[in-house]
Structure 1
Amino acid sequence: MIKEDNAYADDTDQNTMRDERMTGKASARSNRTVEENIAIFEGMITGTQVENCIRAKISIDNPNKATRDPVIYRCNHTPHNRTGTLWKAYPTYDFACPLVDSPEGVTHALRTTEFADRNPQYQWFIDCFNLRRVHIWDFARLDFKRTFLSKRKLTKLVDAGRVSGWDDPRMPTIRGVLRRGITIAALRDFILKQGPSRNVTLMDWPIFWNINKKEIDSIAPRHTAVDQQKTVIATIIKRGPEKAYTEERPRHNKNSTLGTKKVAYSRQLILDQEDAKLFKQDEEITLMAWGNAIVRKINRFSLDYRSPVIDIELELHLKGDVKKTEKKITWLSTEGQSLIPAELVDFDYLLTKDKLDEDDNWEDFLTEETEFWTAAFCDANLATCRMGDIIQLERKGYFRVDAPYKDGKAAVLFNIPIGKTGYLTSCLRLSHG
């Protein structure tokens, strides 16, 4: 380019160069000789001409400011993570893209609309080197409510320790949403439904996660969990089993291919406080996967009906009609199985505001607390779950196993949003509501 007088070396200071490009004024260095430009460029490569850059000689007064002799090569002595200090100067992003795309066989360069002003620059470089033309396909970037996709801002979150890394489930990265529990099939479906639109879209997260729910509902084995800190003891005083026993039950009532699991039954059960505090004396309820029972006694911390429940007594009524009961309750037997400890983790949005305005300082709108942990007891079948498995804890939601139960250490389960209620679902509401 330099030898053909399509580029020149320029040591104009940054502020002056910016002002000249804005006003359409040619640089005093644009008329340097080819020999002088070559010598300076060689000095940039060896690191002796650090004050210079190389500019493409496109146009200085074009209405499209992107074509006003853009910088295409500049000095940078920061050691490269792969080549160390071998190179002292590097091409700019805009210069490198067309010179990579065309030789590598790219037919369509997919670029977001903020690069539209640079498209003529892209094609000029192609023509300058007599390369095969590449078709540019512009599309609008996708934005999500209460988050941002800027790599610069996300890097600051990682560096500041506000998130654990680029695969943190709160991060709007591919690795992040995969770790949160999105499936490849749902992700692909979501992308295809957006299409190559040029309209800027502010997407709501529930739409994203609702597509995923349709994928996982039929393949997620069912399990049961009870909040460790808000456990209520339930004793079956009549018509209960004489001793604990187990039965084989489907892991998913509508998908027999998932196999079976062992369900333990006994007179000693534990329930969630959120359920027990709503019981009424002599009310008939349904113990899911077992049958009906009648609440015969409710012991509370005080006489106030709003007071937390300590324990209850139940009378089994397995001939009762499960369709007529108002409350369908999950439960766990404390006998006949080894309960598995688990940490249920839920997450909030990164930002407190749906969409930031131009003059907003994004750091002022970071959600203060975005991670919530709840200790739970789970049925014994959870011990066989592996990292990455997606399950449903009945009446609590869908979860991805981020760390399986091992050597007595609690499993870590990440709550997967289902779309209807946004990011925070039943796990968070039960524990922090």
Structure 2
Amino acid sequence: MWDLAAYRIPQDRMPHFRTGHEWNIYPTYDFAHCLCDSLEGVTHSLCTTEFVLSRESYEWLNRTLRVCEPMQREYGRLSMTHTVMSKRKLRQLVDSGRVRGWDDLRLFTHNALRRRGVPPGAILAFIHDLGAARFDQAVRSHLETTVPRLMLVLTPLRVVIEDLGADLEGRDLDVPFSPKDPSMGRRTLRLTKTVYIDQSDFREEDSPGYFRLAPGKQVGLLNVPYPIQATGFTKDRETGGITEVEAVLVRDGKKPKTYIHWVPEGEGSRTIEVRLYDPLFRTESPGGDGFLDDVDPNSETIYKSAMVEADGFEAVKRRALAKVEGGDGQDEETPLLGLECVRFQGMRVAYFTAPMNTWC
């Protein structure tokens, strides 16, 4: 091992930038770091890879002085696209008001990931596959097999099925939470004469390559035994937006090419606020002093009148909270911040959680 300097003694009597002329002798990093960790009871000293050569002196000095011997371990700094990991830059984002706080769901801080509903297993899967998979891909792969599916409509459009009939109106449909995993259980979804679909699932005029609902066209409603066909629609005179679609059941039709999700009218659905997030930054590698100018002001989209099936969500919520109360799936060292343990997939939309009574 090479000889290491323990102290630096300024010879030119130039003032120190912090202490001025108060001290004439200063311990070096290699001398002070290991002893400070030992005195403070540190068990593992984590540092980046440029300090790997200092591990030998770190362990040797503590061992020679027969003091407590923490372990130094080096790690590579994690880089993520479309975000920043620097605490200094994160503080600028928070202090400038470009995000709501350190737990804003567009950040990648520990608290933000927990509020986003990212489970520990997904983070571990990402670390294990680092270099072969991106973070969001690892999270989706983990959630795909572990969370139930619900129908969620972001921009509700009223659809009235004129001839639903007494045999179907009010019928309780038995729907699985997962088409691939029966162990997730089932829930009940009541079919009503009026349902709500997403506005993007209907067009005034049909076109090639468009497979959803349009006048004279048939589509299937998920888990409903017969497809529907649009027969007309109503528009708002002032805005020109479509407010209602008239439809009929096609009991003798062919199997539809496309199925769309929906929620029932009345007590079977609930109006909620939903937030969708895109990357906080426009470019993959925001950097430099002007990184704040790269923040995308449209990275958060809020839907204040979204609708979700009520009974299904309540069942998911009860199961998730019972699992946590039973001590299954929660690390005692990192208690949950809210309802982010309530995770589900909104069909054809995204994965969601429910922090602070807001569905994000």
Which band: TM-score by shorter chain? 0.7 to 0.9
1:342 is matched with which residue? 272
* 1:333 aligned residue: 264
Aligned-partner Cα distance in 2 for 1:172–1:236: 45
Give the 3 Å change call, closer, same or farther, for CA 143–269 of structure 1 in structure 2: same
Q: Select 2:106's aligned residue among 170, 176, 179.
A: 170
Counterpart residue identity of residue 23, structure 2: N
Pick closer, same or farther for the CA change 1:118–1:146 going to 2, 3 Å.
farther
5 Å matches for 1:102-117? 110-116=46-52
Show the counterpart of 2:159.
234
What is the 5 A alignment of 1:9-408?
12-14=14-16, 51-52=22-23, 54-56=25-27, 70=28, 95-97=32-34, 99-100=36-37, 110-116=46-52, 119=55, 122=58, 125-126=61-62, 129=65, 137-194=73-130, 207-227=134-154, 230-241=155-166, 243-277=169-203, 279-301=213-235, 308-318=241-251, 320-322=253-255, 325-335=256-266, 337-356=267-286, 360-375=289-304, 376-381=306-311, 382-384=313-315, 385=317, 387-388=339-340, 389-404=342-357
Determine which structure has more spread, i.e. the larger CA radius of gyration. 1
> Aligned-pair distance for 1:135?
6.8
What is the Cα deviation at residue 121 of structure 1? 6.2
Deviations 1:102-138 (A, max 9, x none): 99585x7553123346557646754773658777554
TM-score (norm 1): 0.63
Higher relative contact order (CA 8 A, sep 6+): 2
Which of 413, 416, 424 is the equivalent residue of 2:359?
Answer: 413
- Structure 2: how far apart are the matches of 1:402 and 1:105? 34
Aligned partner letter, 2:98: R
C-alpha distance after superposition, 1:339-380 (max 9, x if no partner): 2121111223232222246x5532332333432211201112
Deviation at 1:7, TM superposition (A): 4.0
Which consecutive residues of structure 1, in runs of 5 or more, have no partner in the other structure? 18-43, 57-69, 73-93, 195-200, 405-411, 415-433
Deviations 1:66-111 (CA, angstroms, capped at 9, x unpaired): xxxx379xxxxxxxxxxxxxxxxxxxxx8234542599585x7553
Q: 1:313 to 1:356 in 2, by over 3 A?
A: closer
Q: What is the DSSP-based 3-state SS (H/G/I as helix, E as strand, rest coil) of the residue aligned with 2:166?
A: coil
Separation in 1 of the partners of 2:263 and 2:21?
71
TM-score (norm 2): 0.74
1: CA distance between counterparts of 2:75 and 2:98? Answer: 31
Does the CA-based 8 Å contact 1:53-1:71 persist in structure 2? no
Structure 2 portions without partners, runs of 5+: 204-211, 322-338
Identity %: 21
Q: CA-atom RMSD, angstroms?
A: 3.6
Deviation at 1:237, TM superposition (A): 2.0
CA distance in 2, matches of 1:55, 1:326: 76
How many aligned positions are there?
A: 319
